[in-house]
């Protein structure tokens, strides 16, 4: 896989949006960028066999940036695009604390500069039964974890979103217990599919998608993908998460895509790929089972939903 840092990527090298929009891409269940049509330097090497590949089209950019869930900017699907238009993300700091050898408050640039930015084309499945295929840019969360060196007491990673009502008008309404929080078990956080994303479609993230840095965990429902992160804490016990706290019977801590466990108010067996008419069957772990099912061996996934 070809890897570049943001500072090393010249504007002329970034895949023009037109190419993204025109071309069919292959996404392999390896989860790495496996892009069929050559032509740009962000291409990944094809390492998934033909059988494991599935031809899927990228979701058009206008849907990726126009149909969002980001309650800090409003609860309507088009609110984040409208209300995050002028969202200021510089300067931005991320606190890394808890059970780590190297706790620190990083300027975003210092946090991201040493990391290997890659493109990952992932299927994304929202708990509301719609899905997209998105070309993310980001780096493996485990590379950051290895850098800050958690101690043996760190069993989970907890993430927190910015909590600034001046910049995020949705925070004035108590729709969730702010700030937005999410969490992963350490082995989920260390899994190579788990990334912190700083961009999509070859450009920096826009506010509505979680600028300047957000989590992407492709085998879990989208709500695990916490946006606009300001704190990453290494903790001993399972952390509180916003959705689990607001409706524990509807949103579990694990939130693995599981078509056999219905949401109490709707089925999770099928999904609507944004841009398509017919619903398609939802795949266990969103199609990444061969890579992640082992993390949950022995767990009752109806109870740990
Ligand atoms: N992160 C924060 N801070 N606030 C949110 O409301 N919504 C989640 C997740 N991350 C949310 C969030 C939900 S429900 C989904 S489906 C995804 O973001 C949507 O990400 P996208 O809009 O980039 O597709």
* 200-219: burial string, b at 16+ Cβ within 10 Å, e else: bbbeebbbbbbbbbbbbbbb
Q: What pLDDT, on the 0 to 100 scale, is given for residue 20? A: 57
Tell me if 130 CB under 6 Å of ligand 1.
Answer: no
- Listing DSSP states for 166-189 in one string gives TT-GGGGSTTS-SSPEEEEEHHHH
Nearest-CA residue for ligand 1 atom 19 is 69
Give residue 35's pLDDT.
Answer: 39
What pLDDT shows up at residue 17? 52
What distance in Å separates the CA atoms of residue 238 and residue 188, rounded to the nearest whole number? Answer: 13
Q: Enter the tokens of residue 199.
A: 């961009």
CA distance 15 to 59: 16
Q: Which atom of ligand 1 is nearest to the CA of 209?
A: 23
Which residue's CA lies nearest to atom 5 of ligand 1?
Answer: 70
DSSP, res 17 = H
pLDDT for res 155 = 98
Taking the centre of ligand 1 as the mean of its atom positions, its distance from the CA of residue 149, in whole angstroms, is 28
What is residue 61's predicted lDDT score, i.e. its pLDDT? 98
| Cβ 222 under 6 angstroms from ligand 1 | yes
Q: Answer for the pair 118, 1: CB distance below 8 angstroms, yes or no.
A: yes
Q: Ligand 1 centre and the CA of 255: distance in Å?
A: 13
Phi, psi dihedrals of residue 97, rounded to the nearest 5°: -145, -170
Helix ranges restricted to H, the chain: 17-22, 61-64, 79-83, 108-112, 141-148, 186-189, 242-246, 289-292
Q: Give dist(CA 157, CA 226) in Å, integer.
A: 12
**Geometric angle at alpha carbon 88, from 78 and 92, rounded to 5°:** 125
Q: Is residue 68 lining ligand 1, measured as CB closer than 6 Å?
A: yes
For residue 126 and ligand 1, the question of a CB distance below 6 A is answered with: yes
Domain ranges of the chain: 11-296
Distances (CA, A) of 220 to 124, 153, 260: 8, 25, 14
Q: Measured between alpha carbons, how far is 228 from 25 in angstroms, rounded to an integer?
A: 28
The dihedral region occupied by 143, where left means phi > 0, alpha psi between -120 and 50, and beta the remainder, is: alpha
Distance 27 CA to ligand 1 centre (A): 22
Residue pair 227/181 in contact by the 8 Å Cβ criterion? no
Q: Which residue, by CA, sits nearest to atom 12 of ligand 1?
A: 226
Query: Omega before 113 cis (within 30°)?
Result: no
Please choose, from the candidates 13, 11, 12, the residue with its C-alpha nearest in 3D space to the C-alpha of residue 2. 13
Tens-digit pLDDT string for the chain (305 aa): 334 444 444 443 345 454 555 444 545 434 444 433 222 333 333 333 333 445 789 999 999 999 999 999 999 999 999 999 999 999 999 999 999 999 999 999 999 999 999 999 999 999 999 999 999 999 999 999 999 999 999 999 999 999 999 999 999 999 999 999 999 999 999 999 999 999 999 999 999 999 999 999 999 999 999 999 999 999 999 999 999 999 999 999 999 999 999 999 999 999 999 999 999 999 999 999 999 999 999 999 999 99
Q: Taking a C-beta distance cutoff of 8 angstroms, is the pair 27, 121 a contact? A: yes
Distance 12 CA to ligand 1 centre (A): 31
The pLDDT, as a whole number, for residue 229 is 99
**Closest ligand 1 atom to Cα of 222:** 16
Atom of ligand 1 nearest to the CA of 70: 6
The Å distance, Cα 267 to ligand 1 centre, comes to 20
- By alpha-carbon position, which residue is closest to atom 24 of ligand 1? 68
Query: Which residue has a Cα nearest atom 11 of ligand 1?
Result: 70
Q: Is 180 in the pocket of ligand 1 (CB under 6 A)?
A: yes
- Spelled out in words, what is the top-level CATH class assigned to the domain 11-296? alpha beta
User: Pocket of ligand 1, candidates 205, 223, 241: which has the most ligand atoms within 8 Å of its Cβ, to mutate?
Assistant: 223
**192 burial type by CB count under 10 A (0-12 exposed, 13-18 middle, 19+ buried):** middle
Indicate whether residue 242 lines ligand 1 (CB < 6 A).
Answer: no
Ligand 1 close to Cβ of residue 225 (< 6 A): yes
Find the helix or strand (DSSP H, E) in which 57 lies: strand 53-57
- Tell me what pLDDT residue 55 has: 73
For ligand 1, mutation pick of 65, 69, 211 (most atoms within 8 Å of CB)? 69
């Amino acid at each position: 896989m070809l890897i570049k840092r943001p500072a090393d990527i010249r504007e002329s090298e970034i895949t023009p949006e037109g190419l993204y929009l025109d071309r069919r891409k292959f996404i392999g269940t390896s989860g790495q960028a496996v892009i069929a049509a050559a032509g740009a330097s962000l291409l990944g090497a094809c390492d998934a066999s033909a059988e494991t590949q599935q031809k899927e089209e990228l979701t058009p950019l206008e849907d990726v940036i126009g149909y969002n869930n980001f309650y800090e900017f409003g609860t309507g699907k088009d609110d984040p695009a409208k209300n995050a238009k002028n969202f200021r993300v510089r300067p931005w700091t991320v606190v890394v604390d808890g059970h780590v050898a190297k706790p620190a408050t990083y300027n975003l640039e210092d946090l991201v500069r040493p990391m290997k930015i890659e493109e990952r084309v992932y299927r994304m499945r929202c708990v509301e039964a719609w899905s997209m295929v998105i070309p993310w840019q980001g780096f493996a969360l485990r590379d950051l974890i290895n850098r800050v060196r958690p101690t043996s007491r760190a069993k989970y990673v907890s993430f927190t979103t910015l909590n600034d009502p001046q910049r995020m008008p949705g925070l004035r309404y108590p729709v969730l217990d702010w700030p937005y929080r999410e969490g992963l078990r350490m082995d989920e956080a260390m899994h190579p599919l788990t990334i912190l994303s700083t961009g999509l479609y070859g450009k920096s993230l826009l506010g509505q998608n979680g600028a300047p840095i957000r989590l992407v965990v492709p085998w879990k429902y989208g709500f695990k993908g916490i946006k606009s992160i300001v704190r990453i804490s290494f903790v001993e016990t399972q952390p509180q998460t916003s959705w689990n706290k607001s409706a524990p019977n509807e949103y579990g801590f694990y939130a693995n895509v599981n078509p056999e466990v219905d949401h109490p108010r709707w089925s999770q067996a099928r999904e609507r790929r944004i841009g398509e008419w017919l619903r398609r069957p939802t795949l266990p772990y969103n199609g990444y089972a061969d890579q992640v099912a082992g993390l949950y061996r022995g767990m009752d996934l109806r109870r740990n939903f």
